[in-house]
Chain A
Amino acid sequence: MTYLSKTMILVAGLALAACTNPDRFEDQAGLGGGGFGAGAGAGAGSVSDPTSPAYFQQAIGDRVLFAVDQSTLSPAAQATLDRQAGWLMTNRDFTAVIEGHADEQGTREYNLALGARRANAVQEYLVSRGVAGNRLRAVSYGKERPIEICSNESCYAKNRRAVTVLAAGLGS
């Protein structure tokens, strides 16, 4: 004879305890695109205002792209980051989270590590150009947040990116 009643009760108990987390993750990025390198969001300001996040996104360029599996910064990427560094040095009220991303050709956890490499490459470059390290933080989304959704190189090339997402307020 095998008695299951005890475990059965535990299984039934689970349903009652089903979790309802409060909405804890308000998007951290806040300004200038709502994270994930999306388009201009609330609070981005006007692109004609050179101190606005919208200007940073569109005129300066908030993102750099990477070759397959790589985290090295191309000359074009370095030029973008030079402009980002200059802007951040001028507009010192902003901090930034650098989001590293990968395309879908790779396993989830490896891509998370790859995105971390990319975000870090950008962070280090900005610091080398004079931006205070405590204004920058890196995060990787791996392949969790593609911006383009087709499954070929034209989309993959845009998804292999690091996006500098501004947030208001000096952290330190």
Chain B
Amino acid sequence: MMRSLLTLLAALMIWAVPAMAQQGGPLRLEITEGVIEPMPVAVPDFVADTPAAQELARNIARVIAADLTGTGLFREIPAAAHISRITSFESPVQFSDWRAINAQALVTGAVNVDGAGRVIARFRIHDVFAGQELGQGQQLVGDRDGWRRIAHKVADQVYARITGEGGYFDSRVVFVSESGPKDQRAKRLAIMDYDGANVQFLTDESSIVIAPRFSPTGDRVLYTSYETGFPHIYLLDVTSMGRRALPTLEGTMAFAPRFSPDGRTVLYSLSQGGNTDLYSMDILSGASTRLTTAPSIETAPSYSPDGRQIVFESDRSGTPQLYVMDAGGGEARRISFGAGRYGTPVWSPRGDLVAFTKQSKGRFHIGVMRVDGSEERLLTASFLDEGPTWAPNGRVIMFTRETQGAQGEARLYSVDITGRNLRQVATPGGASDPSWGPLQN
């Protein structure tokens, strides 16, 4: 059985930081407040079925390893330490050689490029100490340009089978690419793989764009643009690149658009006569419904995953705080009560947490709290962190971090919901306002 590796998954679902100790027998888990010991994994180069596949076979293994180690939950055993060489995908694995270097998981694979130029990758995941395959081997087929997606899909399988949670590597992020000085910053909408690869621009630099949001299926993007001179909301189809402005009242400003979980409704903020309230709009008909009527600022809304509730930011109490109300509007209850200002709440895909930006004592934090406001935990601290977005599996948060001063620049970072594994996301230049899309099909 694959008992030994599977035990890890139980721990990863638990809030407290899991630690894992291996003491000769099967994997044993200790739930502690300490730092997790990452699981040692070996990802030797995939076997190239043809000479033409040689480079791909190496690159795919490298991306799989980068995905896994990037989670902070795995540590790669470098190729130089390997005793066995995988020269045939079909030959039995010499588990003793991998046990000897303490690899607990081993990923093997083979890559072929067929006559039509398609990439065919096969892979297996092995539980080294159990001497077993972990789940079934699989085959993936894709275009050559899509080889990174094949690697991400393999890594998602490894992650899912070992942790028991959904993966998030084969996903994309829409964000704002930034360049130029702070007082004349040029902004363009861009899309990239979750790891920063394959950046493509969706707009040019001619007008300010802010805060894009992926649709639940990742095929459309909502964003705010100043192309008329005033902020308005646009809906972009990322496949056809077709684009249209969503209708709003003459003489108003519309911003902060968010999709409903079924992709049919847009929540947004409308400023009229200096007052900003929340509205919802049926995308098909363009009909809007006003959800709040307070003279205060109501903005940065986010639907619960079931679409029944909305968490949002309001300064009705005097400072920006977080509130939850029914999706149709009505009475709202405050959920943030700590010292400081709270903003940009985002409901987690699992529905149990709200991620937010907190401003306190001149510092900014990304944090999470339960939906009822309890168990607030701050995950980061810096001069300016803001705008969290959830990975599809609800375990990782990406956000904007801006550095201080005249040379200040915005970059994207990710952090685990335990507050561990803070990493900068590789982007070609300045970047802000990430929105993490779903796992791709």
Point out residues on A near B: beta carbons under 8 Å: 1-5, 7-15, 17-25, 27-28, 36, 69, 71, 97, 104-110, 112-114, 116-117, 119-121, 123-124, 137-142, 144-151
Contact = CB atoms under 8 A, between A and B. Distances in A.
A105 B253 contact: no
Interface string B156-192: 0000000000000000000000000111010000010
B210 A139 contact: no
Contact of B211 (A104, A109, A140): A109
Given A4-B149, A12-B145, A151-B383, A110 B210 contact: no
A25 B229 contact: yes
A116 B143 contact: no
B172 to A, nearest CB: 9
11 contacts: A5-B143, A8-B145, A14-B238, A19-B204, A21-B206, A109-B210, A112-B231, A112-B299, A120-B274, A149-B405, A151-B404
B231 A140 contact: yes
B149 A11 contact: yes
A107 B386 contact: yes
B202 interface: yes
Interface of B: 118, 138-143, 145-146, 149-150, 153, 181-183, 185, 191, 198, 200-204, 206-208, 210-211, 226-231, 238-241, 243, 251, 253, 255-256, 269, 271, 273-276, 297, 299-300, 313, 315, 319-320, 341, 343-344, 357, 359, 383-384, 386-387, 402, 404-406, 408, 433, 440-441
A8 B359 contact: no
Given A21-B204, A109-B299, A139-B253, A4 B383 contact: no
A103 to B, nearest CB: 11
B383 A112 contact: no
A25 B227 contact: yes
A14 B276 contact: no
Nearest to A120: B274
Given A120-B274, A139-B229, A142-B210, 6 more contacts: A18-B201, A21-B203, A107-B387, A108-B433, A110-B297, A145-B208
